[in-house]
A and B are shown apart, each in its own frame.
Chain A
Amino acid sequence: MRARRSVWADPEIQKLAGKFIPATDEVTMLHRDQGAAGKHFRLVSEKGHYGRNPLDWTRQGLYCLAPSGEFLGSVNSTRAEDVKAFLKESWEAWEKLPKGRRLMEGAPGEWRDRWADRYPVDGMVWKVTSRDLPRANARKDWAGHAWNIDYAWFRREDLARFMPADAKAGLKKDVDGELVARFARCHLVDNVRGQTIAFPADAVKKATMVLVTESVKGDRVTVRLEGEVRLEQRGRWAVDDTGEREQTRGFEGKLLGAGVWSLKAGTFESLEIVAAGVRWGATRYNFRADDLERGAIGYVMQLAPDTPADRMAPASIWEYGW
């Protein structure tokens, strides 16, 4: 996540990356995959920077490879200079690689994206951006500027849980509580500095969203959304390398949004919701061990365009029960 700002915005790196086919993937599932992709990746990763680590350790980082699985280079760094050197050296390795070793023999095996068939084509997807809100004691380094993205998915049948079919002006409707609770515990999490996990169901102390129809003009219904959320989890877990301790984490805040619902399409034409509140506590990999006290945080939920890069599955999709 740090690299989004420190590495990939660099024009020289963008140019170097353009010599290759640039790819992204989630490392844990890729490394453990028993199909064609996992077997091919391990040919490369086991020659890379973490290749000597036990097999259940992460292999995250940057790799260059030939389609055959020949290793060209690897590094795990968020420093632009390291990445430039790695890309240049990898390109030289590709140019030196005999043509007979560049491609795999035969056609690539079959492999399916793990979540592609769950993408709600006829439903709704929100892009959820999170960031700390300004404060006087903000860190001056990357952590003070950090932000992150997740995607929230809703199936077609979920849309009716936002808006009744016979919408008219002046309507005030509670959005389905189960849906709001799922959204809150999976997406109003503190992922600003790094990965975290969803809150458990019993951490949801309050999760409400009210939809108010402000006007109806032909097919289009202008709506306002207001909500309140309080999440709190207590227990024993580690927030860094020093072991497990009694912990608490949570979020408490307010949601406010506006949008236009199409009666004909049965979905939102436009929608934007902002959440603001406070978070506290940490989890093992979200880099908050030094920042456990209450701090201001905000989220923006927007309708995601249907592009390949915006088809990423929710970070906690297994919590959806789909």
Chain B
Amino acid sequence: MNPIPAIALLLGTALAAGAQSPAGDLTPATRTRFRDLILPAPAEDAWRGIPWRTTYWEAVTEGQRTERPIFLWTMNGHPLACT
């Protein structure tokens, strides 16, 4: 099976012969099905259930105030956005 029919199968649409891109299958009728293929499932999004502070210094300041330790996740690119 080549990649384009794989998408067609999921979308339940027919494809133009020789199509190279899924763009032709993006229509008002299929838009929400494309959306559902792209957005993370609840299990994939579970990491957002941790109440992450969004900057290091916010957490350090809070830790100083509440006498609690800090756990930092830091990446090239902000972990809560594009990393």
Contact = CB atoms under 8 A, between A and B. Distances in A.
B44 A30 contact: no
B40 A21 contact: no
Contact of A103 (B1, B52, B64, B73): B64
A22 B50 contact: yes
A302 to B, nearest CB: 8
A5 B40 CA distance: 10
A274 B76 CA distance: 27
Interface residues of A, number: 91
Interface in A15-48: 17-28, 30, 36-37, 40-41, 44
B55 A23 contact: yes
Contacts of A150: 81-82
B23 A253 contact: yes
Contacts of A313: 78, 81
Given A21-B68, A22-B50, A62-B71, A295 B44 contact: no
B25 to A, nearest CB: 7
Interface in A207-222: none
B12 interface: no
Contacts of B82: 148-150, 191, 195, 315
A36 B61 CA distance: 11
B76 A27 contact: yes
A23 B53 contact: yes
Interface in A263-322: 272, 274-278, 285, 294-296, 298-300, 308-309, 311-313, 315
A90 B56 CA distance: 17
Nearest to A196: B82
A136 B69 contact: no
4 A-B pairs with least C-beta separation: A135-B3, A8-B47, A23-B59, A20-B71
B71 A67 contact: no
21 contacts: A21-B62, A23-B73, A24-B72, A24-B79, A40-B56, A40-B57, A60-B76, A64-B69, A91-B69, A103-B67, A133-B37, A134-B3, A135-B6, A194-B77, A194-B83, A253-B23, A256-B26, A276-B21, A276-B26, A276-B34, A309-B54
Nearest to B46: A9
Contact of B70 (A20, A129, A257, A296): A20
A191 B82 CA distance: 7
B51 interface: yes
B48 to A, nearest CB: 7
Contacts of A296: 3-4, 7, 21-22
A285 B76 contact: yes
A9 B44 contact: yes
B75 A60 contact: yes
Nearest to B34: A274
A108 interface: yes
A302 B62 CA distance: 32
A306 to B, nearest CB: 13
B54 to A, nearest CB: 5
